Amino acid sequence: MTMTDDSTLKVSVLRLGHRVDRDKRMTSHLGLTARAFGADEVILSGDDDPTPIETWKSVTSRFGGQLSCRYEGKPMKWLRSFSKSGGTIVHLTMYGKSWNEITDKIPLEGEVAVVVGGTKVPGELFGLANYNVAVGNQPHSEVAALAVFLNSYLGPREPGDFPGGSVSVVPSDDGKILVTNEDQ
């Protein structure tokens, strides 16, 4: 759970339509981007491929933070139930309203699912979503859309947002500094 000033927020990123033969790198990068930009959970749907989930867990164990990862076999059913129980659905789509206008209207409390596609998404999603958000109205990448959206929605991350990893990066002007965390 991400603690904001006066409330509790849980942000899940749902990856729709993963294809094991085409999307391995893109889906892995999507989950890593979700983690690095402040999501609490990444949910994989489409092909039941263990590789992205293994990558997300391994990076979290090495670099810290509390990311949860899981596979969901029936993502639309899960979204309907999430919506009925009061969750907020944000669908990233080039057909939506501009992130510049919408992001500050999205509540920073409760449970929020940010949904990104791979292949064509079910039309039902547009109606189910509380917010259809475009990062520009041109087609590009789900990874780029997610990074821009999460940075604008949650703000930049701080080094302390990723506790408990076996290593930490020390920001440097002129080299690659990775320290081992002794107490892990």
Residues of the shown chain interacting with ligand SAM in the complex, contacts defined by CB under 6 A = 92-94, 116-118, 120-121, 134-136, 138-142, 145
Cα angle: 52, vertex 56, 58; to 5 degrees? 115
Q: Of 45 and 60, which has the nearer Cβ to ligand SAM?
A: 45
The nearest distance, CB 99 to ligand SAM, in angstroms, is 8
Closest to ligand SAM by CB, 35 vs 91, is 91
* Minimum separation from the CB atom of position 14 to ligand SAM (A): 10
Residue 149, judged by CB atoms within 10 A of its CB (0-12, 13-18, 19+), counts as buried
The closest of 124, 41, 143, 48 to 83, measured between CA atoms, is 124
**Which tokens hold the place of 73?**
């076999």
Closer residue to ligand SAM, CB minimum distance, 104 or 109 = 104
Q: Shortest approach of ligand SAM to residue 34 CB, angstroms?
A: 13
Instruction: Match 């129980």 to its residue by tokens.
Output: 85
Q: Give yes or no for a contact between 134 and 93, defined as CB atoms under 8 angstroms apart.
A: yes
Residue whose C-beta lies closest to ligand SAM: 117
Measured from the CB atom, the residue of 16 and 69 that comes closer to ligand SAM is 16
In the DSSP assignment, the letter for residue 172 is -
User: Min. distance of Cβ 35 from ligand SAM in angstroms?
Assistant: 18
Shorter beta-carbon distance to ligand SAM: residue 116 or 150: 116
Q: Which amino acid is at 79?
A: L
- Apex CA 27: angle with CA 146 and CA 87, to 5°? 50
Min CB(177)–ligand SAM separation in Å = 34
CA 149 to each of CA 54, 55, 99: distance values in angstroms, whole numbers, following the listed order = 25, 23, 7
Main-chain dihedrals φ then ψ at residue 120, nearest 5 degrees: -55, 135
